[in-house]
Chain A
Amino acid sequence: MKPIISHYGRTCPHQRRGDSDKMREGGVVVVNGGAEDHQQSGGRGDNNGDGVAYVLDIYPLSSYYFGTKEALVLKTESVADMLHRLKANYEARGLRTCVGAVILVELFKHPHLLLLQVRNSIFKLPGGRLRPDESDIEGLRRKLSRKLSIDESTDDAEWEVGECLGMWWRPDFETLLYPYLPASVKKPKECTKLFLVKLPVSRKFIVPKNLKLLAVPLCQIHENHKTYGPIIAGIPQLLSKFSFNMIEAESYVLCD
């Protein structure tokens, strides 16, 4: 029997016989039982959702490379100054929209979220505020390249932006955030949208010198509002519908 080579040149030592026609392109059937896609099995005229299980391919942290670039200029303003600035911006431009990327890697067989650590105690998702004229996706790509790549490239293919996982709303300039827009709030001040961003099997991350890029396990983030704030602490719940297909590092093993 000839070896079964996957798209990335790896073979799967645990390939089940007869599964080769079901193998997704670029994927390897995972050792620890990741879910397979299930196609909608013939309608009885029912609306049965889209019939496909949510499966996310994630790759080991070790398959990514990390370098640095010049430091980002960070605002050093007081809380009062910041509030003033936000109010002025709101008067001029209306609702402030921010985007954040949910990027996952595998480590110790558990999904880890990529976070940027700013000044020792502040953790942020890669992302930031949108410019008035740009779309969510454009803005997110721009921010990702600025924080995680060599420059603000205009290459659309660089970041694969997936679905919007959730939105957080700020009814007022004070820091209270809600995971929905309360019906009584007619003029929200800020909206933060979280998007799933899918990584390729490997890439190089270039991070500004004054930021740290961390890979934090979901089990540490879950409900940990105190350290990470409500948006990041809520991410494991936003991701819960996904089954993670944790793809192993490259290996060349011939099947029998």
Chain B
Amino acid sequence: MVNTSPVLNTYPLSGYTFGTKEPKMEKDTSVADRLARMKLNYMKEGMRTSVEGILLVQEHNHPHILLLQIGNTFCKLPGGRLKPGENVGHLTYANFSYSAEIQGLKRKLSSKLAANSPALHPDWQIGECVAMWWRPNFETIMYPYCPPHITKPKECKKLFIVHLSEREYFAVPKNLKLLAVPLFELYDNVQTMSELGEQLIFKLELEIERVYVTLDLL
């Protein structure tokens, strides 16, 4: 039985309103710090599970992906780590509860992109999971599978499509920039985009490949 491809409606960037809110500082100032903190958390809580959202808008007839830029170089997808309590049951492999990860992603999206007042939060519509990445060691490299002989991965990250409606109000922390980056141009620009840091371009390439969606450009 072949599933039909999911339809993702994308709406013009001009339909969205962008405000600001108080800064949200990064917890770590360097990659090394980040990995060290990850190690500490692992000792306490086990494998880190994180979720990220792929939010697409339309500009110049091309789909653009929303990215958060920290400082001048580092970009990331909106999302973050799930709290231990958000994982019901075992923390091994991909066994975190689906509804918990959806709730967790909504929480993260609101934290990074929504005004503080809950009444002004977008009604986040989370779509399908398009990718899952694994971190075998306390290093920056991640893989789209759990590498062989790795029985204790350090992190599992899931990426979800987020269905935006035509109008939304976003509030971005003052210290971050929200970019709308042409999705497909990233594929040809791996070299320049590699300054984005970490594995971002790595991950985004896979989105380009995996996001087999019919983009309904309105």
- Chain A residues close to B by CB (< 8 Å): 32-36, 38, 41, 46-54, 108-111, 136-137, 161-167, 178-180, 182-183, 195, 217-219, 222, 234, 236-243
By DSSP majority rule, is chain B's interface helix, strand, loop, or mixed?
mixed
Contact A33 B206 (CB under 8 A): no
Chain A to chain B contacts (Cβ below 8 Å), 20 pairs: A36-B95, A46-B123, A46-B125, A48-B99, A49-B127, A49-B160, A54-B129, A137-B2, A178-B187, A179-B209, A180-B187, A183-B184, A195-B2, A218-B145, A239-B145, A240-B206, A241-B210, A242-B132, A243-B94, A243-B132
Q: How far is the CA of A49 from the CA of B90 in the complex (A)?
A: 22
For residue B147, CB closer than 8 A to chain A, the reply is: yes
Q: Does B133 contact A (CB under 8 A)?
A: yes
Contact with A along B179-195 (1 / 0, CB 8 A): 00000100100000000
With A38-B97, A166-B212, A218-B145 in contact, do A33 and B129 touch (Cβ < 8 Å)? no
Q: If A49-B129, A49-B160, A164-B5 touch, does A35 touch B95 (CB 8 Å cutoff)? A: yes
Docked CA distance A218–B160 (Å): 22
How near does chain A come to B30, taking the closest CB pair, in angstroms? 26
Q: Total contacts A to B, CB within 8 angstroms?
A: 121
Q: Is B131 an interface residue (CB 8 A)?
A: yes
Q: What residues of chain A lie closer than 8 Å to B148, measured between beta carbons?
A: 108-110, 217, 219
From A167, A183, A236, B144 is in contact (CB under 8 Å) with A236
Within 8 Å by CB of B2, from A108, A161, A222, A241, lies A161
Indicate whether B93 reaches chain A with its CB closer than 8 angstroms: yes
**B106: nearest residue on chain A (CB-CB)?**
A46
How many B residues touch A, CB cutoff 8 Å?
A: 42
Closest to B102 in A: A48
Q: Which residue of B lies closest to A242 (CB)?
A: B132
Quick one: closest A residue to B95, CB to CB? A35
B61 CB to nearest chain A CB (Å): 6
- Identify which of residues 32-88 in chain B touch chain A, using a CB-to-CB cut-off of 8 Å: 61-62
B200 contacts the other chain (CB 8 A): no
- Known A52-B98, A238-B209; further 12 A-B contacts with Cβ < 8 A: A32-B151, A33-B90, A46-B125, A47-B125, A49-B129, A49-B160, A53-B98, A53-B129, A136-B2, A219-B147, A239-B144, A242-B132
- Nearest to A107 among chain B residues (CB) is B148
Q: Is B1 an interface residue (CB 8 A)?
A: yes
Q: Which of B62, B90, B127, B208 contacts A179 (CB 8 A)?
A: B208
Cross-chain contact of A241 among B97, B129, B151 (Cβ < 8 A): B129
B binding-site residues for A, Cβ under 8 Å: 1-3, 5, 61-62, 90, 92-95, 97-99, 102, 123, 125-133, 143-145, 147-148, 151, 158, 160, 163, 184, 187, 205-206, 208-210, 212
Q: Which residue of A lies closest to B161 (CB)?
A: A49
**Cα separation A33 to B95 with both chains bound (whole Å):** 8
Known: A35-B94, A38-B97. A237 touches B5 (CB 8 A): no
A110 and B212 alpha carbons, distance in the complex (Å): 26
Q: How far is the CB of A246 from chain B (nearest CB, A)?
A: 11
Chain B residues with CB under 8 Å of A162's CB are: 1-3
Which residues of chain B come closer than 8 Å to A35, judged between CB atoms? 93-95
* Contact B160 A164, beta carbon cutoff 8 Å: no
Top-3 shortest CB links A-B: A240-B144, A237-B206, A110-B148
Contact B212 A167 (CB under 8 A): yes
Which of A41, A111, A240 is the one whose CB lies under 8 Å from B131?
A240
Contacts of A183 in B (CB 8 A): 61-62, 184
With A178-B187, A180-B184, A238-B209 already in contact, the answer to whether A34 and B145 are too (CB < 8 A) is no
CA–CA, A15 to B32, complex, Å? 42
Residues of B within 8 A of A167 (CB): 212
B140 to chain A, nearest CB (A): 15
Chain A nearest CB: distance from B158 CB in Å? 8
With beta carbons under 8 angstroms apart, the residue of A36, A110, A182 that contacts B184 is A182
Q: Are B209 and A234 in contact (CB under 8 A)?
A: yes
